[in-house]
Amino acid sequence: MVARSHSSAAGVLALLSEPDPVFKQHALKSLNSLVSRFWAEISEDIALIESLYDNDKLPKEARDSAALLASKVYYYLGEYDESLSFALGAGSAFEAESRVSGSEEYVETVMSKAIDRYIELHSVETDGKGDKVDPRLKHIIESIFQRCISEGEYKQAIGIALESHRLDVISSIYKQTQDISILCYAMDAVIDTGLSLSYRDTVLRFLYPLFPQLSVKNDSQHLHALTRLLVTLSDPSLATPLLVSLVPKENLLAYQLAFDLVEGGARDYLESIQTSLPDGDKDSKPIFDKLRSIFTGQESVKLYLEFLKKNNHVDPLILKHTKDALEPRSSIYHTALTLQNAFMHSGTTSDAFLRENLEWLGLASNWSKFTATAGLGVIHKGYFEQGMTILGPYLPQNGGESGVPGAAYSEGGALYALGLINAGCGTDVSGYLRDTLRSAQGEIVQHGAALGLGIAAMGSKNFETFEDLKNVLFMDSAVAGEAAGYAMGLIMLGTAADEPVHEMLSYARETQHEKIIRGLAIGIAFVFYGRQEQADKTIKSLLEETDPILRYGGVYTLALAYAGTSNNDAVRQLLHIAVSDVSDDVRRAAVTSLAFLLFKNPGQVPRIVQLLSESYNPHVRCGATLALGIACAGTGLQDAVEILEPMTKDSVDFVRQGALIALGMILLEQSEASSSSLASTRALYNKIVSDKHEDPTARFGAALAQGFIDAGGRNVTINLQSRAGSRNTNAIVGMVMFCQFWYWYPLAHCACLAFEPTGIIGLDGDLKVPKFEFTSNARPSLFAYPSATKPQKKETATKVATAVLSTTAKVKAREKKKAAADGDVNMDSDEKAEGKTEDVDMKDAPAKPSTPKSGRKEPSSETLQNFTRVTPAQLAYISFPSNGRYQPVRGVTAKSTTARAGKAPLSSKQHEEKYASGGGILILVDSRPEEESEFIEFETAAEFTAPAPEATTATGNGDAIGATASGPHIALDESAPEAGPPESFEYPFDGDN
């Protein structure tokens, strides 16, 4: 018998009014199966159904059915809160419904609503502000946890546990599985999502004791995660006991942890650890001394400096071509070449280009001279031991300014350069810069001293330095006040201190100088760096200001407060500002600032700015270019390149400039095999720089981009994430300052703060650099240096063939025929002569590679030496031979990836997450300590007395001679002679006497 289909639920609904409970129970069961079709009709009797649920006289089964029916009706009506309330009352009926086919969507919706309700109620209950959670809701959530754990869906359970503040669930899952990746996942989730700072710290402190003890034997893969946790908490009371527990049995791991903490830790945090380390006994004292030396940050800086000097692959012909193409007497072009040279040679200490082009250098005047002198700081970045020696000829003499006309620009630039050289080195140069700032009278020298002081003492939180800068600010000089505003923010970086912010904001509202307002606005943004919800009040206040420059500062405050969190509310707010603000500057800043929120997920950025890149407003388009460049720097992300390439032909000059610079950042450390756009982009830069009819703004952008794409001798990348996986503070600050080059070109030098050397630097237990080999399991061409530019051949004038009259040709032909008949001419020799002529012509054609060479297959892997460049993308393919003498104490990367031979270029999926931790300085376990070790020798220079600055002779290699000897570097062979600094020389600027 075929079941009759219903056309209406009216008959069944009528049974609900029957007095007999049996009829009502039957009707409720029937309606539960009909509700998906007749919910609209049933909803008219919802009051009756609810009354049945409340009727105590009905059996429990009938009441559960009534609750389930009411829940389903409210679900179809879109009232999910009411639906959940009745589902909780349905008890066993709801559990049975979850097993019924066709109810999956209803059950999933109610479950997700239950999770949301539980998260909301339990998190409030944990804070002691709300009512207790309904036990029935608890029961459902507990069943969800149990199901996730039984099915192995641990990540889902951890996600719910984190949001609902149920840390006990994470602990029980870890005890059950003993899987460290569970703890790492929980840690990453709480750091990378927009949870409050206080709750984030609570979770991290809860997770920290769960991590197992570090040991070389246990292959401490979680060292990356532990480092990131410690850097995020920045609590010396956690790091110091851990380091002490590793000495002396696991001293190699202690060294590795120290180097990794230095990579991501704030300056004051590292100094606190350094001072809190014990002296140790006879056995452990040398180890603790080395740890203290590492925590100064200077050892890492020295190693990276040697790495950049040793592997410098700058192509001088690119610089020569730019110099020949750009008019040196134009200030913008002179600055462009200065910045290009500084970026290309950043950290390499090679000033050969400057020495060889002193005549070009002498054409700099005024602020071009300031920028040119400051460029020395970029070139010698990290050479803190000889910073004063290198810049000696240009620094203010005897504590006062020089009276020579025009000298103030080189003196100010030298003070700025001194700050760049000492950035992140933990040196005491800030004392000298403070003294100079106090004694200086001219605004140009004050400008350079303030910028240098802010960068050298970044994050020092020193109130005395802050007061010195405030005194300069109150002089109300536009030039000096702007630099003081930036520097005040840098000194108080990430403190969220109320008093400094109040003083800065009050002065910004009072002053009439736009430059000062802008400096203070960005300074306030630095003060709230990483403070998330603590900055909300100030952000709201700044964004409501009528002055567009303060709103501009509000945008950067929002970006820096939530830097790296991908916070949805912050992204939404920036996108709203980008399309609604009346100021073009604010709109451009809002789009650019997206990069600072999303740099951990660069794959998202092209999708978000795609429409903005096609905006009618050129400032929004320009902001989109920089957002792509900063967030996707060094990834070679094809989606970003495809958006930027058409923008290099934009009708507006500054949009073209932004697109060119962004392409240079994205294609940093890419090879022609890994990025198909590299060759065409380099050719485009060459074409634009050479085109005298191109707009100066675009030519400036192309020159700057050439500096970025070959930055640091082609051995650095730009990464706003540190190797420890935390935010790279120096890089974020450097990129924010670089973005201000729109208003003030000298600030572009700050981009060098974001340059991160990419190599593997292996150290043994004595912190020396041994010779060893490791394998890159990828085709060599995939990560090779770009080939050197070939010099252009001079075109020789080709000889035009002589015209021959037809009558003359006929006469000659008759004579030749007659001579041949007489046997006077040897035809063979003629043929040979003709053949020889053809051979000479072939020499002008391009030489073809020989068949055997071109037919040879490229190897699928290559062997690399210690102290070699390894790009972030290449780290996934690095392996150490199992039978090798040296093995690293931790993995090369945080995510253990199986290296496969001969890989093709990386797909866009692999670029979704930015390469974070890995590479850098690796401490090695020596499996054969009884064998004699070979160490890498670094370039040394003969020591002799330095001549006076005016008698100094230039050297071609850029190495200085006769510098004051400094303390031996603990990572170098101490028996080798010490290298001297680059030789000092003075710029022959016009107008100097």
Does residue 24 belong to any structural domain of this protein? Answer: yes
Element (H, E) at 759: strand 759-763
Number of domains in the chain: 2
Cα–chain center distance at 794: 43
Question: Please, are residues 358 and 737 in contact by the beta-carbon 8 Å criterion?
Answer: no
Secondary structure in 3-state letters for 569-613: HHHHHHHHHHHHCCCHHHHHHHHHHHHHHHCCCHHHHHHHHCCHH
Cα-atom radius of gyration of the chain, to the nearest Å?
A: 35
CA atoms within 13 A of residue 335's CA, in its CB half-sphere:
22
Distance CA 99, CA 202 (A): 39
Q: Which of 189, 210, 225 is the last residue of a domain?
A: 225
- 519 closest CA partner among 350, 197, 740: 740
| Helix ranges (DSSP H) in 247-315 | 251-264, 267-276, 285-295, 298-310
Predicted local confidence at residue 743, as pLDDT: 94
CA dihedral angle for residue 909, residue 911, residue 913, residue 919, rounded to 10 degrees: 130
Predicted local confidence at residue 584, as pLDDT: 95
Predicted local confidence at residue 904, as pLDDT: 40
Distance CA 531, CA 284 (A): 38
- 575 closest CA partner among 599, 557, 593, 550: 593
Predicted local confidence at residue 143, as pLDDT: 83
pLDDT tens track for 952-969: 333 333 333 333 334 444
Distance CA 151, CA 147 (A): 6
pLDDT tens track for 571-623: 999 999 999 999 999 999 999 999 999 999 999 999 999 999 999 999 999 99
Distance CA 383, CA 374 (A): 14
Does residue 314 belong to any structural domain of this protein? Answer: no
Strands of the 862-865 sheet, one edge to the other: 862-865, 773-776, 878-879
Element (H, E) at 382: none
Question: What's the DSSP call for residue 721?
Answer: B
Predicted local confidence at residue 837, as pLDDT: 40
Q: How many CB atoms lie within 10 A of CB 220?
A: 22
Please tell me whether residue 932 adopts helix, strand or coil conformation: coil
Q: Tell me how far CA of residue 431 lies from CA of 45, 443, 453, in angstroms.
A: 82, 19, 9
The tokens describing 288, both together, are 């603790």
Q: Which of 179, 195, 225 is the last residue of a domain?
A: 225
- 914 closest CA partner among 858, 871, 862: 871
Does residue 769 belong to any structural domain of this protein? Answer: yes
The tokens describing 206, both together, are 């809860």
Residues facing 925 on adjacent strands = 887
CA atoms within 13 A of residue 459's CA, in its CB half-sphere:
19
What is the distance in angstroms between the CA of the first residue and the CA of the last residue of the chain?
114
**Beta-strand relationship, 868-869 and 759-763:** antiparallel
Does residue 26 belong to any structural domain of this protein? Answer: yes
Predicted local confidence at residue 836, as pLDDT: 42
Give me the domain span that covers residue 29: 14-225
Collect all residues with Cβ–Cβ distance below 8 Å to 124 and sequence separation of at least 6.
130
The tokens describing 80, both together, are 């999910």
Element (H, E) at 755: strand 755-757
DSSP string, 493-507: TT---HHHHHHHHHH
Does residue 637 belong to any structural domain of this protein? Answer: no
- Give residue for tokens 């932004």: 658
Residues facing 888 on adjacent strands = 924
Residues facing 631 on adjacent strands = none
The tokens describing 18, both together, are 């029957």
The tokens describing 504, both together, are 């800065």
pLDDT tens track for 422-437: 987 766 788 999 999 9
- 573 closest CA partner among 592, 558, 595: 558
Question: Please, are residues 293 and 970 in contact by the beta-carbon 8 Å criterion?
Answer: yes
Angle formed by the axes of helices 267-276 and 251-264, nearest 10° = 150
Predicted local confidence at residue 543, as pLDDT: 95
* Main-chain phi, psi angles of 392, to 5 degrees: -45, -45
DSSP string, 760-809: EEEE-TTS--B--EEEE-S-GGGGPPPPPPPPPPPPPPPPPPPP--HHHH
Predicted local confidence at residue 845, as pLDDT: 39
Q: How many CB atoms lie within 10 A of CB 178?
A: 8
Q: Which of 225, 248, 266 is the last residue of a domain?
A: 225
Question: Please, are residues 596 and 914 in contact by the beta-carbon 8 Å criterion?
Answer: no
Does residue 663 belong to any structural domain of this protein? Answer: no
Does residue 71 belong to any structural domain of this protein? Answer: yes
The tokens describing 79, both together, are 């009232």
Question: Please, are residues 523 and 485 in contact by the beta-carbon 8 Å criterion?
Answer: yes
Question: What's the DSSP call for residue 173?
Answer: H
Side chain identity at residue 385, one-letter code:
E
Please tell me whether residue 181 adopts helix, strand or coil conformation: helix
Collect all residues with Cβ–Cβ distance below 8 Å to 167 and sequence separation of at least 6.
161, 202, 203, 206
Distance CA 355, CA 983 (A): 10
pLDDT tens track for 163-174: 888 888 899 998
Side chain identity at residue 942, one-letter code:
A
Predicted local confidence at residue 376, as pLDDT: 95
- Give residue for tokens 């919910």: 39
The model carries a pTM of 0.83
Does residue 50 belong to any structural domain of this protein? Answer: yes
Angle 689-694-695 from CA coordinates, rounded to 5°: 105
DSSP string, 20-53: SHHHHHHHHHHHHHHHHHHHHHHGGGHHHHHHHH
Q: How many CB atoms lie within 10 A of CB 796?
A: 7
Stretches in the chain below the pLDDT threshold 50:
1-3, 824-854, 896-917, 940-977, 993
Q: Tell me how far CA of residue 398 lies from CA of 264, 394, 703, in angstroms.
A: 38, 12, 38
Angle 958-300-631 from CA coordinates, rounded to 5°: 90
